[in-house]
Amino acid sequence: MTQTIADNLQIIRDEIKKLATAAGRDAGAVRLIAVSKTKPVEDVQAAYAAGQRDFGENYPQELKDKYPVLPEDIRWHFIGHLQTNKVKYIAPFVAVIHTVDSVRLIEEIEKQAAKYDRIIDCLIQVHISGEETKFGALPEEVGDLLKYAAGCPHVRMTGLMGMAALTEDTELIQRQFAGLQALRDQWQQEYPLLTELSMGMSSDMAEAIAEGATWVRVGSAIFGQRSYLNR
């Protein structure tokens, strides 16, 4: 018997609760984003039928195409690299943008959100992995981005997002997540809305939850491996 998406979801939800409790946190303190990039709408519908409402997507065009054919009450999280000229595709409906890393991008989100009379929740993606290939602001740039966003009435900064290094070294992963948590704690003193920490994926969910993740972004453990063409 093969495991269904609903089975996988249940396993991940149980695992999240277990990890949160083991870390001395509330069982409900960590919420799950089901990352459906490259997966067909049928897979999203299967997860939706199993009660999932928060979904993550990486590509503006793909999200723009999926949005109108899926239920209205899905909260769409944008978690991929976002080019300023693509903001307009997702601004009418996106719930949270996790990957804000420049003033230019904030400026464009402000402009597009204003056009639709919306306030969009945003997280600053911080470069924590030390790897060349990952996007994100440097830790020392976070203050300037928060300051700029504070002057944008249609952008609400609610936290930080990060991706740890792709490594078997779980202590390194945990240190990187701990660093992001410390950075969030530091800036939360000045910006009390900064409550969210989006960190942890299928492979490093445990380390992220131990270090305070409030959102985990899980794809392959729910929907299966993606085609290598699409990462």
Ligand X SMILES: *Cc1c(COP(=O)(O)O)cnc(C)c1O
Task: Write out the residues near ligand X by the rule CB under 6 A.
Answer: 35, 37, 58, 79-80, 163, 201-203, 217-221
Cβ nearer to ligand X, comparing 39 with 184: 39
Are the CB atoms for 3 and 220 separated by under 8 Å?
A: no
Which of 109, 181, 187, 116 is CA-nearest to residue 151?
109
Residue 103 near residue 144 (C-beta atoms within 8 A): yes
Per DSSP, what are the bridge partners of residue 122? 97, 157
What is the closest distance, in whole angstroms, from the C-beta atom of residue 164 to ligand X in the complex? 11
Q: Which two tokens stand for residue 32?
A: 């799950």
- What residue is closest to ligand X based on CB? 219
Residue with tokens 């003193």: 189
Nearer to ligand X, 149 or 164 (CB): 164
Q: How many residues does the chain have?
A: 231
Can you read off the two tokens belonging to residue 53? 């409402």
Query: Closest approach of Cβ 4 to ligand X, in Å?
Result: 17
152 or 198: CB nearest ligand X: 198
Q: Which is nearer to ligand X, 74 or 79 (CB)?
A: 79
Nearer to ligand X, 100 or 201 (CB): 201
CB 186 → ligand X: shortest distance, Å?
23
Which alpha helices (H) appear in the chain, and where do they start and end? 5-22, 41-49, 60-66, 87-90, 103-115, 142-150, 170-188, 205-210, 220-223
Shortest CB 204 distance to ligand X, Å: 9
Task: Kindly state the smallest distance separating residue 35's Cβ from ligand X, in Å.
Answer: 4
- Backbone CA torsion sign across 186, 191, 193, 199: negative
Least distance in Å: CB of 219 to ligand X?
A: 3
